[in-house]
Amino acid sequence: MSDSACFESCPNEIFHEIFDYFSLHGLYYSFHGLNQRINHSLQSINRRELRLRSTDDEPELRLARFFSPTINVLTIYDDFAINLNQHPKLDSLTYAYATTEQIEHFIRMKSLHQRLKYLNITSDELTLFMKYLFSNKFLSLRSCTIRNIDSMTKSPWRISPSLSSIITCDQKNLLPCILQSCPKLERLSIAIHRYSTTDSTLFVSSQCLTHLSIEIIQPAWTTIAIKRLCSSIHLPNLTFFRICSHESSANHFDFAQLIPVFQNKLPRLQQFQCDILFAKEAQIADIKSIRNLHPSLFKLLELDCQIDGVRRIYTNCESESLIE
């Protein structure tokens, strides 16, 4: 019996065991086109990842079209005019930089909205997209990463009952709006270019949020800013809170003022992390005194003196891993 006959006699289960050891490119260039049965077996593979990088690469496009029924994780790096309806198993989608045409096509794919679990999108114009994200259209969406938002406040805010994790970058502090729209949100990481200096008129209590990370581009974090933030939210089950700023502050920062804020607004807080900068003229206590204010929340804080007298207080995560 010939080698080809032996290979042909194998059941499909053996084919799938063999295919598990190959990448999509390896499968395509090693097995595609041998015969109809093998082609069918290749297209019946479950849960594969595909990254599309160039519309000028015709072999890459042929590979993408051939394996479209098997792909569950898709990353698009170029302005591909790809039909998402050809990916019936897709549940994770990333646009490295989405064009208006790609966003419009994505919005039209109603069946995809119902099964999508992870979405990562970067674009200069997301107004149209934001009208659909915070709604009940995405019944399975659990994690969403959104970058370059410049028009979030122009979009209608509705309820998104399934979202449990969001990473976003925006011009303004929309934390209360996001919490109100996502009642099941468990993790939120938000980067804000400039936080508001006025108190929010919206007060939100989130029962599900356990992890919150806020990064401020400018100005720097102050105790007043943290108090103002916490005045608009109540997070009774938050266990992790992280703040980070890129601009050094000349204002006095009193860590002692954070204790009553945490006790009243974040009663179950177990871990506090920070990475904040202070100008030379800023008044801050010595690091040992800060640690003694709260031996649990502040125990891993470190002080680092940088150029021009700038001081950095940050959480030493390496020490935390050693303790664990």
Residue ranges per structural domain of the chain = 1-45, 49-281
- Map tokens 């030493």 to a residue: 316
pLDDT of residue 322: 42
- Map tokens 């029924």 to a residue: 69
CA angle at 180 for the pair 177 and 182, rounded to the nearest 5°: 105
pLDDT by residue for the chain (324 residues), tens only, comes to: 455 556 677 787 888 888 888 888 888 888 888 888 888 888 888 778 888 887 677 888 888 889 988 899 999 988 877 889 889 999 999 998 888 889 889 989 988 988 999 999 888 777 777 777 776 778 888 888 887 655 454 445 566 777 888 887 765 567 777 888 788 889 998 887 766 655 566 778 889 999 999 888 777 788 888 888 888 888 999 999 999 988 888 888 889 999 999 998 899 999 999 999 988 888 888 899 999 999 899 999 999 988 788 999 999 887 554 444
- Map tokens 């259209």 to a residue: 137
pLDDT of residue 55: 67
The two structure tokens encoding residue 105: 């096509």
pLDDT of residue 1: 46
Residue 295's contacts (CB-CB under 8 Å, 6 or more residues apart) are none
pLDDT of residue 273: 95
Q: Which amino acid is at 302?
A: E
What pTM was computed for the model? Answer: 0.74
Residue 192's contacts (CB-CB under 8 Å, 6 or more residues apart) are 169, 170, 171, 172, 173, 214, 215, 216, 217
Measured distance CA(60)–CA(187) in Å, rounded: 36
pLDDT of residue 171: 57
The two structure tokens encoding residue 320: 């935390």
